[in-house]
Amino acid sequence: MSPVLRLENITKRFGGFAANDDITLELARGEVVALLGENGAGKTTLMNILFGHYVPDEGRVFVEGAEIAHGRPRAAIAAGVGMVHQHFTLAPNLTVLENVMTGTQSLLALRSGTGAARARLKDLSERFGLVVDPDVRVSELSVGEQQRVEILKALYNDARILILDEPTGVLTQPEAERLFNTLRIMASEGLSLIFISHKLQEVLAAADRVVVLRAGKVVAERKAAETSKEELAELMVGRRVARPVREEAAPGRVILAAEAISVTVEGARRLADIAFELRESETLGIIGVSGNGQTALAHLVSGLLEPDSGTLEIFGERRERATPRQLVEAGVGRIPEDRHSEGAIGEFALWENAVLERVREKRFSRSGFVRRGEARRFANGVIDRFDVRGGTADSRTRLLSGGNMQKLIFGRNLAATPKILIAAQPTRGLDEGAVAAVHGEILEARRQGAGVLLISEDLDEVLALADRVQAIVKGRLSDPVSASKLDARRLGLMMAGEWGEPAEAAA
In this prediction, residue 199 carries a pLDDT of 82
Residue 16, pLDDT score: 80
26: enclosing H helix or E strand: strand 17-27
Residue 303 scores a pLDDT above 80: yes
pLDDT of residue 317: 87
455 Cβ contact list (under 8 Å, min separation 6): 286, 294, 297, 298, 337, 422, 423, 424, 425
Helices (H), 129-228: 143-156, 173-188, 200-206
Give me the half-sphere count of Cα atoms (radius 13 Å) on the Cβ side of residue 412.
27
- CA–chain centroid gap for 117, Å, is 32
* Cα–Cα dist 230/237, whole Å: 11
Residue 503 pLDDT grade (very low, low, confident, very high; cuts 50, 70, 90):
very low
* Amino acid, res. 365: S
User: pLDDT higher for 312 or 492?
Assistant: 312
Query: In which order are the strands placed within the sheet that holds 309-314?
Result: 268-279, 254-265, 309-314, 317-319
Q: Rounded mean pLDDT of 189-205?
A: 89
Query: Mean pLDDT: which of 241-245, 399-403, 428-432, 436-440 is highest?
Result: 436-440
CA distances from 146 to 99, 118, 175, 345 (A): 11, 17, 11, 25
Which residues fall within 8 angstroms of residue 94, CB to CB, at 6 or more apart? 102, 137, 138
Contacts of 309 (CB under 8 A, 6+ apart): 260, 261, 262
Closest alpha carbon to 34 in 241, 238, 237, 232: 232
Per-residue pLDDT reduced to its tens digit, 73-100: 989 999 999 988 877 788 989 999 999 9
Quick one: how far is CA 1 from the chain centroid? 37
Spatial contact of 96 and 117, defined as CB atoms under 8 Å apart: no
- For residue 504, the model assigns a pLDDT of 45
DSSP string, 409-474: HHHHHHTT--SEEEEESTTTT--HHHHHHHHHHHHHHHHTT-EEEEEES-HHHHHHH-SEEEEEET
Q: What is the dihedral of CA 464, 469, 475, 478, to 10 degrees?
A: 150
Q: Name the residue among 225, 243, 166, 287 with its Cα closest to residue 437.
A: 243
Angle between helix 432-447 and helix 229-237 axes, rounded to 10 deg = 90
Cβ-Cβ contacts under 8 Å for 264 (sequence gap 6 or more): 270, 308
In the predicted model, what is the mean pLDDT of the chain? 88
pLDDT in tens, 341-367: 888 999 999 999 999 988 888 889 988
Residue 340 has pLDDT above 90, yes or no: no
Label residue 105 by pLDDT band (50, 70, 90).
low
**Which amino acid makes up residue 393?**
A
Residue 110 pLDDT greater than 80, yes or no = no
The domains of the chain, with CATH numbers, are 5-237 (3.40.50.300), 252-331+418-507 (3.40.50.300), 345-416 (no CATH)
Give the residue from 321, 304, 309, 312 showing the smallest Cα distance to 262.
309
Tell me the mean pLDDT in the region 188-217: 91
Per-residue confidence (pLDDT) for residue 62, from 0 to 100: 96
**Region 413-431: what's the mean pLDDT?**
89
